Amino acid sequence: MATTALHGTQTLRALAKLIDVSIQSETQVVTQSTTQTDDGDHERFTHLVLEGYTPKDGEFVALENSVVDGMVNATPVRALCGKVWVPGRDPKKYPLCPTCKEIAESLGWSLPNA
């Protein structure tokens, strides 16, 4: 009796025929992401939010204005410019609010990419 060596998928298919079961092939899904914007996004800005401060002779004092808390609990925050909103969008998609930028610079803050 001659025997033939089967490897990989061939072996599984041969075994499936012998024991009458089906085999599903592995499928690879390729996804591609694109940035989608909502209506009115052209009017949106990234705002600066003061979440706390550190006095010269002390430790950090947190305010009740946390962006993370706002995102997690859907609570509103207040930006330096006075805008109040519930954060939820990616701030990297929008330009920096000119009013927030002006206020921050007048306070001597250094801003990334400013």
Note down pLDDT in tens along the chain; length 114 residues.
454 554 555 655 555 555 554 445 555 555 454 444 455 454 689 999 988 888 888 898 888 878 888 899 999 999 999 999 899 888 888 999 999 999 999 998 888 764
Considering the entire predicted model, what is its pTM? 0.56
Domain of 45 in residue numbering reads as 41-106
Domain membership of residue 12 (yes or no) is: no
The answer to the question of residue 23 being in a domain is: no
The answer as to whether 25 is a domain residue is no
- Classify residue 71: in a domain, yes or no: yes
Does residue 77 form part of some domain?
yes
Structure tokens at 97: 């609010």
In a domain, 54, yes or no: yes
Domain for residue 19, yes or no?
A: no
Is residue 8 domain-resident?
no
pLDDT value of residue 101: 93
Residue 80 CA: distances (Å) to CA of 8, 59, 99, 101: 63, 22, 8, 9
